[in-house]
Structure 1
C-alpha cells in the first residue's frame, strides 16, 4: 500500500494533474471575487436606500435605476444615445491611434524626426484637449466632427509617446542584425519596430481608450443634443437622477468592456506575456 502511494506521489502525470486542479481552483476563486465585489456594492446600496439610511432623492436604489434603464430601451431613447456616443468614440479613437502609432514608430526609428517632433508633443500634451474645445468647435463646427477630433486629440498623445518609448526600448542588436542583412524601411517598420514596440504601444492604446471615454462625456456636455454625456448632463440639470445614474453606469460598463477586449487582443498578439 505504501509503495503504491509512493508511486502515485512521484508520478509526474499525477503531479501535473494536481497542479492543474490547483491552478483551476485559484482561477475560479479570482473570478468569483471579481463578480462578488460589484454585487456586494449594489446590494449594500439597495439596502441603504430601502432602509432610508441614504437619501433616495440623490441615491435612488439600483432596482429603480434598472427599471429606468429598461424604460429608456423600450422608448428608443437609449439606442439613440449609445449609437451616437459609440460612433464618436470609435471615430475619435482610430483617428488618434493610427497617426499616433505611425508618428511614434518614426520617432523611435529616426533621431532627427524624434528631435523635431518631441518639443511639439511635449508642449501640447499638458494642455487638456477640452481646453481647446472652443477652438475645435470654431474649426470643425458643433456637430459630430468636433467631438471626434476632441477624442482623437486626447487619445493621440499616450499612444505616440508609448509607441516611441517601445521602439527605443528594442534591443539594438536586432536593429544591427537587420541592417547587416540589408533590411529595407518596410522591414524595419513591420518586422522589427512594430513587433518590438507592441507591448508598450498596447499599454498606450489601453490608456487611450480610457481617456476616450472620459473625453466623450465632457465633450458631449458642451454643444451636443445627444449622446451619453449629454444624457448625464441634461438629466442632472433636470434633476432626473435615475437617468443620470444610467448614463454613469453605461460609461463604466463600456470602459470595462473595452478594457477586456483590448486585454484579449493583447493576449492574442503577445502570447509570451
Structure 2
C-alpha cells in the first residue's frame, strides 16, 4: 500500500503557533493575577481565625469597606489629589534637568569631569536627611515636598542618562561628525534616542523613589496627603485607615510602573 504524502500547510502551522503563544500569555496573566489574590485570601483567613491579630492586621474585606466609606465622604480623594500633584510636580522637576544634564555629561567630557564629583558627593546623602534644610529654605508647604521628590528623582535619571550616552557605539558619533552634525542633531538624533533604553530604566527607578519619598515627606510638616493619612492613622491606632493609605501607595506604584513600561514599548519597539 502506498502511503499518502502529508501536505505541509504553513498557514496551519502559523495558526497553531499563534494559539500556543496565546495560551502562554493567558497562563502568564493568570499567574500575575493569582499571586495577590492568594495573599489576600490567606490574609483574610488568618485574620478571621485570629491566627494573626486582627487588631494589627484587619481583614482585607474590612479595609475595603473603610476605603469605600472614605471615598464616599470625599476625604480620600483630597489626600490622593494633593499627593499626586506633589509626585508629578516633583517628578518632572527632577526628570527634566536630569535628562538634560545627563546628555551633556555623556556628550562632553569637560562637563562630565566638572559635574561628576558633585553628583558623586551628593548622591549618597538621602534626600530625606536634607528635609529639615529644605523646610528651612522653602517652608512647610507644597514647595518643600516637591523639591524633596525632585532631589530624590534627579540622581538615578542623570546617572542612567549619562551612562546611556556613553554606551552609544562610537561609530554613530563619527558618522554624525563627518556629516557636519551640530549640537542640536547630536542631542536629538543620536544622544537622546541612543540613551533611551538606559534612561528609561533610570526614570523607572525615579518613579519608585518618588513614591517612597512622598510618604516620608508628608509624614513631617504636612496636613494632607497619603503619607499624612498613613502617619496620623497610625498615631491614632486607626489601622484600617492606615492600610488604606498603604494600599493606595502600592496601587499607584504599580500603575505608574505599568504606564512607564507601555511608554517604553512605544518608544523602543525593537526591545
What secondary structure does 1:3 align onto? coil
What secondary structure does 2:269 align onto? coil
Equivalent residue in structure 2 for 1:268, among 251, 266, 269: 266
Kindly provide the CA deviation profile for residues 57-80 of structure 1, in whole angstroms up to 9, marking residues without a partner as x. 000000000000001001111010
Kindly tell me the number of residue pairs found equivalent between the two proteins: 270
Equivalent residue in structure 2 for 1:49, among 44, 47, 50: 47
The gaps in structure 2 that reach 5 residues or longer are: none
In structure 1, C-alpha distance between the alignment counterparts of 2:13 and 2:198, rounded to whole Å:
37
C-alpha RMSD of the superposition: 1.0
1:156 shift after superposition: 0.1
1:3 matched residue in structure 2 = 4
1:74-223 superposed matches below 5 A: 74-223=72-221
1:14 shift after superposition: 1.4
1:161 shift after superposition: 0.1
2:57 matched residue in structure 1 = 59
TM-score, structure 2 normalization? 0.98
2:20 matched residue in structure 1 = 22
2:37 matched residue in structure 1 = 39
In structure 2, C-alpha distance between the alignment counterparts of 1:224 and 1:189, rounded to whole Å:
40
1:51 shift after superposition: 1.2
Kindly provide the CA deviation profile for residues 223-251 of structure 1, in whole angstroms up to 9, marking residues without a partner as x. 00000000000000000000000000000
Q: 1:15 to 1:237 in 2, by over 3 A?
A: same
Kindly provide the CA deviation profile for residues 94-119 of structure 1, in whole angstroms up to 9, marking residues without a partner as x. 00000000000000000000000000
In structure 1, C-alpha distance between the alignment counterparts of 2:95 and 2:53, rounded to whole Å:
43
1:2 shift after superposition: 6.1
The gaps in structure 1 that reach 5 residues or longer are: none
1:226 matched residue in structure 2 = 224
Kindly provide the CA deviation profile for residues 33-70 of structure 1, in whole angstroms up to 9, marking residues without a partner as x. 00011011101111111111111000000000000000
Structure 1 segments of 4+ aligned residues over 6 angstroms from their partners: none
In structure 2, C-alpha distance between the alignment counterparts of 1:238 and 1:188, rounded to whole Å:
56
In structure 2, C-alpha distance between the alignment counterparts of 1:20 and 1:74, rounded to whole Å:
45
What secondary structure does 2:270 align onto? coil
